[in-house]
């Protein structure tokens, strides 16, 4: 690590007569070292931000079909072009179609279900209460030897 060096005569540092001067100089040296560290950190942080601003980002061929793996790849190497093979592209399109079909069927079922829920909800609670009342007996286990 870089240290700022300040020329301090040895007789000032060790002489007991000038202890206040030596303490002051030690403090100055420490402050200058900290300042140097902060300046280096600031320069490092600024250069990192500058690199991020001017970073070249690779092309994405199929924007609608980006997976988690591609996002991880983008995080580690943003310059890399993201392309999908024909096989993987077909698989992803197929998965999306199936998901859309499932959503459509769920929406149809959810629209039809509220009308039936009001009729059967009282019957279901009666069944549950009968089952719950029948299972209240405690059973003890007996050891057979």
Could you tell me which residue, 85 or 7, shows the higher pLDDT? Answer: 85
Residue 125 lies in a domain: no
Residues in contact with 15: Cβ distance below 8 Å, sequence separation at least 6, in sequence order: 22
Bigger pLDDT: 30 vs 126: 30
Number of domains in the chain: 2
Can you tell me the distance from the alpha carbon of 131 to that of 145, in angstroms, rounded to the nearest whole number? Answer: 34
Q: How confident is the model at residue 7 (pLDDT cuts 50, 70, 90)?
A: low
38 lies in the same domain as 63: no
Q: How many other C-beta atoms are found inside a 10 Å radius of the C-beta of residue 57?
A: 10
Q: Give the model's pLDDT for residue 1.
A: 45
Alpha-carbon span 94 to 89, nearest angstrom: 9
Task: State residue 101's pLDDT score.
Answer: 94
Is residue 128 in a domain? no
Residue 28 neighbours by CB under 8 Å, 6+ apart: 6
**What gap in Å lies between CA 77 and CA 96, rounded to an integer?**
27
Residue 28 lies in a domain: yes
pLDDT score, position 98: 94
pLDDT at 108: 86
For the segment 53-76, the average pLDDT, to the nearest whole number, is 81
In a domain, 106, yes or no: yes
pLDDT reading at 111 higher than 50: yes
What's the domain range around 97?
Answer: 56-112
Q: Is 92 within the bounds of a domain? A: yes
Handedness of CA 50, 54, 56, 61 (dihedral sign): positive
Residue 121 confidence (pLDDT): 55
Mean pLDDT of 26-32: 82
Quote the pLDDT of residue 91: 92
Closest CA to 70 of 56, 84, 57: 84
Q: What is the pTM of this model?
A: 0.38
Q: Cβ distance 22 to 35 under 8 Å?
A: no
Mean pLDDT for the chain overall: 76
In this structure, are 74 and 28 located in the same domain?
Answer: no
């Amino acid at each position: 690590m870089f240290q700022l060096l300040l020329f301090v005569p040895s007789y000032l540092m060790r002489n007991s007569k000038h202890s206040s001067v030596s303490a002051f100089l030690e403090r100055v040296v420490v402050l200058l070292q900290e300042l140097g560290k902060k300046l280096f950190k600031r320069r490092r942080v600024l250069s990192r931000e500058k690199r991020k601003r001017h970073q070249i980002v690779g092309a994405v061929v199929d924007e609608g079909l980006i997976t988690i793996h591609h996002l991880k790849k983008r995080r580690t190497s943003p310059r890399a072009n993201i392309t999908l093979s024909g096989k993987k592209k077909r698989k992803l399109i197929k998965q999306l179609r199936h998901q859309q079909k499932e959503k459509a069927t769920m929406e149809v079922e959810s629209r039809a279900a509220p009308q039936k829920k009001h009729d059967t909800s009282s019957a279901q609670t009666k069944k549950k209460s009968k089952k719950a009342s029948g299972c209240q007996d405690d059973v003890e286990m007996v050891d057979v030897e």
